[in-house]
A and B are shown apart, each in its own frame.
Chain A
Amino acid sequence: MFVTRSIDCDHKDLIHDVAYDFYGKRLATCSSDQSVKVWDITPDGQWKCTASWKTHSGSVWKVTWAHPEFGQVLATCSFDRTAAVWEELIVEGSSGERNQSHWVKRATFVDSRTPVTDVKFAPKHLGLQLATCSTEGQLRIYDAPDIMNLSQWPLQHDISCRMQCSCVTWSHSRLHPPMIAVGSDDNTPAAKVIIFEYSESTRRWIEIEAISFYTDPVHDIAFAPNVGLSYNLLGIATKDVRILSITPQQVQDQMGVNTSYQTNQQSLSSSSPLKHEIKQVMQFNDHGAQVWRIAWNVTGTILASSGEDGTVRLWKANYLENWKCVGVIKGDSFNPGSNLTYVSAIVSDQTENENRSDRNMNKQTARYYRLSNINNPNNVPWH
């Protein structure tokens, strides 16, 4: 069962991004009102805004947390063509209690001449690195050589993607060479997802794949956290929800997949260390509209997507690697400010059935109850 609680966020414009920190106990929101707010959870489970400050002179598109090993550090990017790194300074109140915290800007990235659409920290094992992408089509990677000094971020790589970039993501796998995927939301019929891999030998990021069968605008892209897989899963939010699996071709692929597309491999440059097999694992149009956001859970087993239909849908693979919708959550938003609790969706408990029989799993579906109407037939999850 999911319990939806409305948070009175007091942002004066659209909220474009929310991000949990590593421990899931803090929340950062960013909005077009040029501010970022940081929320901490109180012992009784309420979210309390502990900091709110103006970060940019334009819409703040994305906010992201660094690994706590590097301190309480946020990165933001904005329509004002900059990205920034922020660090929290704790101001001891007179009561000794932790009051409003103070965030100071440690670095500003001004290399872009167009709005910066996404910013992401590299996974921890790659050190303190930051990738940004901009509408002019540049993927930039910055590296803080000294993690104690957050004001020095030399630009390491400046890579042209030849498309209006909208989102970027790092792969989390330690097993494979570092990988970055970039998505684009322009309307040209060209490839919308490009995957880069870091080549240790040349010390450069090499484009290993432009996924040419995706030509719809891509709004969000996310590598699944990898806790032991031999391949990477890449979630893509476009007009529907998709998941790609990216397997280095030396590794034997044992997955059962619904659809498999063999992508054109001719774009692979000769210096590319590994060929990759890229397969589409799932594609679902349940939102019936543009999908704006996706997020993976920590183990990379559940994908949540949020779309134009105002719902959050949860996706999970069953034992045959068939992805299924396991939950639909509808927020009831028209009581802003009120802290009423709504039971919006109840996702079926699979456990009982799981115990009963393993053969029935095919028919496992999610039941859910809703309080508000769904007026779009496409919104009704179909199983």
Chain B
Amino acid sequence: MRKKTFFITLEGPANALALNRDCSQVAVAGRNVFKIFDINDDLNSFNETLNLRVGKNLNLNYSCNDVVWSCIEENLLATAATNGSVVIWNLQKSTRSKIDQVLMHHKRTVNKVCFHPSEGHLLLSGSQDGTMKLFDLRRGDISMEFNSQSESVRDVQFSPHQEWMFAAVQENGNVQLWDSRRNDKYLRQFTAHSGPVFSCDWHPEDRRWFATAGRDKTIKVWDLTIAGTPIVEHCIQTIASVAKLKWRPERKLNIASCSLLLDFTIYVWDVMRPFVPFATFTEHKDTTTDFVWRGSSHTLLSVGKDGLLYQHSIKDAQRPADHANPCGLDINNYNDICHAVSDLISKSNGLSSSNSGSYPIQSSNNNNNSSSKSGITGALAHYASSSLRLLKKKTDYNEQFRCCTSSLFYIKNECTNKALSMDWFVTSALKYQLSGRPFSELCLQNAEVAMHLNRPQVAQTWKVINQLFSGTKSGTFSGPPSASIAANSSNNADDKVDPADIRAPSRHTSGSVSGRHLNGKTTATQTTNPLNIGPFSMLTPAEQTSAQTEEDSDSSDVENIFPPTSKAYIRLDEKSLKQSDFFFGDGDVSSSATLAVTYEIVPNESTIADEHAQDWDLPREAFQPRHPIQDLQIPPDIDAINTYPSSPTSLDEDETAVEELSNIGSGVLSNVDTITKSLLSTTVPHNPSWKFTDIIVDILHFYAAQGDIQTTISIIIVLGERIKSSVDENLLEFWFHSYIDLLSRFELWNIASQIICLSPVRNINILNQTSTTIYSNCGNCLKPLTGKVAWLCEKCKTSPSICSVCRGVCKGVYVWCQGCSHGGHLLHMSDWFSKNRFCPTGCGHQCEYT
């Protein structure tokens, strides 16, 4: 027979319930309810068998605080009425009203009645008036009266072990043990709780244990066998005042409780694990007033202020421990891990070295526990079975429930692996140079830093950027060439250059140094924009753009340092209408890894272009990364000539080149669209930007997406004006915020404020200027000093900071005594106090100048 949870609605809130001896019937009593129900286990329902609340005058005798069913006389019930009477009910009475006796002896309401466990005619009551009375129902009178000497008695319970003894708990927090045969003095008394004790229960099996609970939200289990003051064996902290307590039959360590207010749940606790309820019943919609275990450990009956009578099945109970997270995990900014794990999990997974002997693997339970059982039960089963084998000891849920310790581990990251460590971040943050030196020096320095940290990809990026933007200089210097390049690019964008082909040579020149991530990204960007090659391997944009910025067909004066490509004259996409030729040359001999690629642009009028192209020549040296740009903000063309002070090429040559290039430009012009025209008309193309700005932007996005916001921000700052306005302002702000946040995580405040200062975003710049104002009040009129000068109060036209020594207005540092509030110039005051001890104003205060 499956025991199920079911309920019935009563007419009103119930205060108490009682079971008959064989647990087949339940009596429910309240202010307006007094009924007896049959419990039908087959139909899972309650059937009302008797309504005791009948009669002509329903007086307060019918309003019950407590009800108890005699466990000896089948038809005998007793109720504790709110008017102070104890009412005896006999169900065998033939009249409609079953009231047998009304024992009106208490002056105030009766809180609790209790039958003697073996002598059916003895009934004990505990009342609000502070007395307990033992009634002899045969005589219908009091046989003994006990005075608790306190305000009120909340609960009385006969001991199941020594039947002459009973316990009484009081509102003043005391527990008294009485011998029911003598009423002069209690046997023992001790203070159990701070505040009222509401309930107590003797352990049904263990003679030692006695549980109490009270308004201080605790359940305490006492060992009463110890002489003197009993000690607390277990203490369970609950979340609300505890109104009722009942040990769970057949389960030695379980005790159930319900709350007086606020909390509607019935809890079943395991005293061995005092913090987490073993099971909870949450069905009641209002305060649970009383509950009783129905003979066995599996079912529980309860009533509540919501007017519901429930039968709960332990199977349907919620197990909060199952929802409890057995693991804790966090990573800090150094990628150290902190891991807290339940010992049960560790044990069940055989992490213990003592358990390391092989035993059958329990893999199945892990996979099928997804449905009704939550994970922990799965692991518990696992644990149970493994311990069965290993420890030859049967474990049940209770035992696993009690296995409730955790181990805390600090897993220090000592990985040299850059993927898992954050050392690179701190080191680069400290070592990166972002301003104060020429652009290319910054780039190279940063490249070196990155290289040093074993981040070749980032190093390469820096070098490429250096190359690109140093190259820009020459490109913009000659103006028209860049325009023609733009033309070419816009043509190319339509149909020509296949990035794959460009990449192919780059692959074997760049070799293994190019970063692995970049190539991955390539495939993504490639499809979206054929020219916008994206941040794929660094050399590709370098080749492409440098090729496109420097038009040069003659590489004879170039010393190639890459044998495989130096001689190679790579044809790019022969089938395309345009012929594009690549040269792989050496742009900067000093920086061995950079490549300057010569790239001949052959527009549709290829022959014309060829003629011109062969005429002019730009010297390699022009693209030395170390051109002395002092101010990054200066448009490159202004001091273009200064850019090449050491250039062996004469100015004349450059000029011819310009002329010729403009020819090319005009030649191309005929074929290109309006965009190109506008570009051409700009004689000073500020970052004529063509497409490599986009590539840079892609690089920025790429690093940001990699979580390496540091590189992104550093590049942005180093590039400064060059990249400005090509990234969305909001995005830029977001990036800067992210980086600053990250820096502050590593407590790199100086770097963070450096970044704030260097940021091109206004909203970031002003971060340093927030909350830097100190507001002061005038010492004379106590009004805020709002004037332009801090030393003059505009309200009272006085100066609040007069030096006590020289009587002059103190405009700088003003020191004052906190005792007498007089002060003045720092120098004067220190002078004064080197000779005197008292305040210079003569106020008599002995100032302490330190």
Residues of A within 8 A of B (CB): 1-9, 11-20, 22-25, 27, 29, 31-34, 45, 47, 57-59, 61, 79-81, 115, 117, 124-125, 135, 166, 173-175, 185, 187, 216-217, 219-220, 226-230, 239, 252, 254-256, 288-290, 292-302, 304-312, 314, 316, 318-321, 326-327, 329-334, 336, 344, 347-351, 354-358, 361, 371-379
B378 touching A228, Cβ below 8 Å: no
CA distance A223 to B40 in the complex (A): 52
Q: How far is the CA of A333 from the CA of B703 in the complex (A)?
A: 39
Indicate if the CB atoms of A13 and B514 lie closer than 8 Å: no
Contact status B409-A290, CB under 8 Å: no
Contact A355–B456 (Cβ < 8 Å): yes
Contacts of A254 in B (CB 8 A): 524-525, 528
Find chain B residues with CB under 8 A from A373 CB.
350, 356, 358
Partner-contacting stretch, out of B72-80, B128-136, B366-374: B366-374
B370 engages A333 (CB within 8 Å) = no
Q: Which of B205-213, B336-344, B604-612 contacts A (4 or more CB under 8 A)?
A: B336-344
Cβ–Cβ contact A290 & B378, under 8 A: yes
- Most central of A33, A305, A312, A358 by chain B CB within 10 Å: A358
Given contacts A2-B414, A308-B345, 14 further A-B contacts (CB under 8 A): A13-B276, A13-B404, A23-B747, A79-B320, A124-B741, A219-B375, A295-B337, A306-B327, A332-B353, A333-B351, A334-B351, A351-B454, A372-B350, A376-B366
Q: State A289–B326 Cα separation when bound (angstroms).
A: 13
- For A357, the chain B residues whose CB sits under 8 A away are 512
B346 engages A331 (CB within 8 Å): yes
Given contacts A292-B326, A376-B361, contact A333 B417 (CB under 8 A): no
B247 to A: closest C-beta gap in Å: 22
Closest B residue, CB atoms, query A375: B350
- Find chain A residues with CB under 8 A from B708 CB: 299
Residues of B with C-beta under 8 A to A2: 337, 411-415
B433 sits at the interface (CB 8 A): no
Q: Which residues of B contact A (CB under 8 A)?
A: 217, 237-239, 263, 273, 275-276, 320, 323-343, 345-354, 356, 358-359, 361-363, 366-367, 369-372, 374-376, 378-379, 404-420, 422, 454, 456, 512-521, 523-525, 528, 701, 703-709, 712, 730-731, 733-735, 737-739, 741-742, 744-747
Complex CA–CA separation, A275 to B25 (angstroms): 60
Q: B339, A18: Cβ atoms under 8 Å?
A: yes
Q: Is A331 a contact of B351 with CB atoms below 8 Å?
A: yes
CA distance A24 to B407 in the complex (A): 20
**Are A334's CB and B331's CB within 8 A?**
no
A residues less than 8 Å from B339 (CB atoms): 18, 306, 312, 329, 331
Given the interface pairs A334-B354, A358-B519, A376-B366, the reply to whether A29 lies near B742 with Cβ below 8 Å is: no
What are the residues of chain B within 8 A of A1 when measuring CB–CB? Answer: 414-416
A226 to chain B, nearest CB (A): 7
- Contact in complex: B330, A295 (CB < 8 Å): yes
- Quick check: A13 and B747 within 8 Å, CB to CB? no
B350, B379, B406, B408: residue with the most chain A Cβ atoms closer than 10 Å: B408
- Cα A332 to Cα B346 in complex, Å, equals 8
B237 touches A57 (CB 8 A): yes
A7–B362 Cα gap in the complex (Å)?
Answer: 29
A4, A7, A24 — which one has the most chain B CB atoms within 10 A of its CB?
Answer: A24
Q: Which residues of B contact A13 (CB under 8 A)?
A: 273, 275-276, 404-406
From DSSP, what is the main secondary structure of chain A's interface residues? loop
- Looking at chain B's contact residues, the main secondary structure is mixed
Contact of B353 among A32, A47, A79, A371 (CB under 8 A): A371
Interface pair A333/B407, CB less than 8 Å apart = yes
Known contacts A1-B415, A175-B734, A219-B325; A333/B706 CB under 8 A: no
**Bound state CA distance, A175 and B839, in angstroms?**
58
A116 to chain B, nearest CB (A): 11
Shortest Cβ distance from B518 into chain A, in angstroms? 8
Residues from chain B with a CB closer than 8 A to the CB of A217 are: 370, 374
Specify which of B329, B336, B404, B737 is in contact with A32 (CB 8 Å cutoff): B404
Q: Do the beta carbons of A298 and B737 come within 8 Å of each other? A: no
Q: How far is the CB of B240 from chain A (nearest CB, A)?
A: 8
Residues of A within 8 A of B263 (CB): 81
Q: Which of B239, B376, B515 contacts A80 (CB 8 A)?
A: B239
Which residues on the A side are within 8 Å of B366 (C-beta)? 288-289, 308-309, 376, 378
A308: contacting residue among B379, B703, B738, CB under 8 A: B379
Contact (Cβ within 8 A) A14 B324: yes
Kindly name the residue among B325, B406, B515, B737 whose own CB sees the greatest number of chain A CB atoms within 10 A. Answer: B325
Contact between B341 and A306, CB atoms less than 8 A apart: yes
Q: CB distance B363 to A5 under 8 Å?
A: no
**Contacts known (A6-B407, A187-B371, A310-B346); A326 close to B324, Cβ less than 8 A:** no
Are A4 and B512 interface neighbours, CB within 8 A?
A: no
Known A-B contacts A216-B370, A292-B375, A333-B407; the reply to A81 vs B239 at CB < 8 A is yes
- Which A residues touch B404, using CB under 8 A? 13-14, 32
Q: Contact: A297 with B329, CB < 8 Å?
A: no
| Residues of chain A contacted by B326 (CB below 8 angstroms) | 14, 16, 292, 308
A216 to B704 Cα, complex, angstroms: 33
CA distance A380 to B262 in the complex (A): 49
Closest chain B residue to A28, Cβ basis: B330
Are A312's CB and B337's CB within 8 A? Answer: yes
Q: In the complex the two chains form, is B361's CB within 8 Å of A350's CB? A: no
Q: Which residues of A contact B416 (CB under 8 A)?
A: 1, 349, 351
Q: Which residues of the other chain, A, contact B414 by a CB distance below 8 angstroms?
A: 1-3
Alpha-carbon distance between A349 and B709 when the two chains are bound, in angstroms: 23
Q: How far is the CA of A96 from the CA of B748 in the complex (A)?
A: 27
